[in-house]
Amino acid sequence: MRRPGRTAAIVVTSGLLSIGAASLAGTGVAPVAPVAVEAAATRVGGHADAGARGDAWIARLGDETLPRRPTEALLTLARRERPALTLPELTRHVALDLLLGDAAAREVGDATLFASMRVGFPPEVETRRQWLATLRELWPERIDRAWRKARLELPQAPDPRAWAALWSGSAGGGLRMDEQLDDTERVAAARYVLLRYRAFGDERAGAVTLADVWPLQNVQGRRMLRAGDLAYARAQARQWLNERFVAQWLRQDSGWSEQELAFVHRVVQARLRRIAWQRWQGLSADPHGDAPARDALAAAVTTEEIAAFYAAHRDRFQRLESVEGLRLRCADPACGDGRDLRQQPGATRLVWQLGDPRPASELDAWALDLMQAWPVGQVSPAIRHPDGGGWERVQVLAVRRGHHPADSETVRHEARQALAMERLETRWQQRQQALIAAAPLRWAPGIVPPADPFVPERLTLTGAPGHAH
pLDDT tens per residue across span 197-219: 999 999 999 999 999 999 999 99
Are 435 and 103 a contacting pair, CB within 8 Å? yes
**Separation CA 55–CA 287 (nearest Å):** 45
Q: In whole angstroms, how far apart are CA 273 and each of 80, 337, 436?
A: 24, 57, 17
Buried b (16+ CB within 10 A) or exposed e, 170-209: eeeeeebeeeebeeebeebbeebbbbbbeebeeeeeeebb
Q: Check whether 327 has a pLDDT greater than 70.
A: yes
**Separation CA 317–CA 326 (nearest Å):** 27
pLDDT at 452: 86
**Separation CA 189–CA 209 (nearest Å):** 7
What percentage of the chain exceeds 90 in pLDDT?
A: 63
Are 182 and 171 a contacting pair, CB within 8 Å? no
DSSP, collapsed to helix, strand or coil, labels residue 6 as: strand
Q: Check whether 430 has a pLDDT greater than 50.
A: yes
Average pLDDT estimate for 448-464: 69
169 pLDDT band, cuts 50/70/90, is: confident
Average pLDDT estimate for 31-44: 47
Q: Check whether 29 has a pLDDT greater than 50.
A: no
Query: pTM of the prediction?
Result: 0.78
54 pLDDT band, cuts 50/70/90, is: low
Query: What average pLDDT does the structure give for the chain?
Result: 85
Are 435 and 96 a contacting pair, CB within 8 Å? yes
Average pLDDT estimate for 38-63: 64
Q: Which residues contact 73 (CB under 8 A, 6 or more apart)?
A: 40, 41, 44, 45, 138, 264
Displacement of CA 11 from its chain's centroid (Å): 10
pLDDT at 286: 61
15 pLDDT band, cuts 50/70/90, is: very low
171-175, 179-183, 185-189: least confidently modelled range: 171-175
pLDDT tens figures, 111-167: 999 986 667 889 999 999 999 999 999 999 999 999 999 999 999 888 999 999 998
Q: Are strands 193-197 and 153-154 parallel, antiparallel or unpaired?
A: antiparallel
Q: Which among 93, 87, 74 is positioned nearest to 436, based on CA atoms?
A: 93
65-74, 92-101, 180-189, 285-294: least confidently modelled range: 285-294
